[in-house]
Amino acid sequence: MSTEHMIKPPVEVQYEEELLALQENDTAKKPANWKLSPQAVRTFILGSKKPLIYKEKEYTIEKKYLGNDALVERCIVTLAGNRGLMLVGEPGTAKTMLSELLSAAISGVSTNTIQGTAGTTEDMIKYSWNYALLLAKGPVREALVPSPLYVGMENGIITRFEEITRTPAEIQDSLISVLSDKVLNVPELKEEGFLFAKQGFNVISTANTRDKGVNEMSSALKRRFNFETVIPIREAALEKQIIINEVNKLAKENQLELTVKEDVAELLASTYHELREGISSLGHQIDKPAAVMSTAEAVSVYYQTLMAGYYYGDGTISIEGLVQNLLGAVAKESREDLEKVKGYFNTVIRDKAAKEGGIWTKYYEARKWLR
């Protein structure tokens, strides 16, 4: 499949040759209907230095998830054991990306997805009807329009359920019997009214801890999942690398020739890391903003600033523009957070500018946009 006109190609398309190379070289045991063995799934997500040969070419599998390797292994084992997987954590911690990678490696498709919202209904999860055919032929399989859960069960593939806690509790609970018995009841079809899931079917759900209490999951549903908490990046150096990788990827997807500056990525990673943790590398105590200071937000701030330089400037990133976009990202939760960012600049950035000079001095001088 050509990715030329896709803004964001599916994982299985973006990494098609890597997946084929892994399949060709995969000799380990695999669960029924999995495209790859658990070992190969791990390699696809976490990478390998040893190149693989496929069609007389060498492929080095790149590391795609820069987080906790042990968490990835636990996720794979959970899915191999036919337990539902629930990924929880702060917004912007790559829960969605991890679920996409797992689905693409295991089932060969990452797009069989339910997006949880306040308006999600049961027929968006299970099935609905083509009413023209329903009136003409009655309740027959031909008239049934399968939704992602039905598709997953019928084809033995993973169904992804994004932001499940945004969905009303009674709709969430429609998953309970499916996860328990792996059977979906379609009473309208009478004798053929039971869909038994094929091997390989499973559910990966994500939930933001910031949404806790919006539509709290029932205890019965929670028992059907293994929970894994995806924590924010704890190392500023790793956060910097993620910013560089993701901005380069976004630029490539949009066919833009942009240069990511490592020192600017380091500055931004340090800012987000310190504001999130509440302490600076110099030992300052910092008032943490209420806003989500996630790595994904840092990527967005960097890329937005770089795009402004590309279209309106000289093609380079502007430190003043970076500060303006940072303020926009922080202020969307609460205007009170701006005072916390001001305090951060007037203490931490001031001292770093005095100590390091260079780009930190430019960063400190750009504080005028905080007024």
Residue 189 in tokens: 């079809």
Q: How many helices (H) and strands (E) does the chain have?
A: 18, 11
Give the homologous superfamily in CATH for domain 67-230: P-loop containing nucleotide triphosphate hydrolases (3.40.50.300)
Q: Provide the pairing of β-strand 158-162 with 113-115.
A: parallel
CA 10 to chain centre: 12
- The CA-CA-CA angle for residues 39, 45, 49, to 5°, reads 80
Q: pTM to 2 decimals?
A: 0.89
Residue 92 in tokens: 């912007």
CA distances from 189 to 93, 136, 144, 156, 179 (A): 42, 15, 9, 21, 21
DSSP state of 279: B
Report residue 368: phi and psi, to 5°.
Answer: -55, -25
pLDDT per residue, tens digit, the chain (371 aa), is 556 677 788 999 999 999 999 999 999 999 999 999 999 999 999 999 889 988 888 889 999 999 899 999 999 999 999 999 999 998 889 999 999 999 999 999 999 999 999 999 999 999 999 999 999 999 999 999 999 999 999 999 999 999 999 999 999 999 999 999 999 999 998 877 899 999 999 999 999 987 765 678 899 999 999 999 998 888 999 999 999 999 998 888 888 888 889 999 999 999 999 999 999 988 999 999 988 889 999 999 999 999 999 899 888 899 999 999 999 888 877 778 889 999 999 999 999 999 999 999 999 999 988 87
CA 150, CA 295: separation in Å to the nearest integer?
A: 34
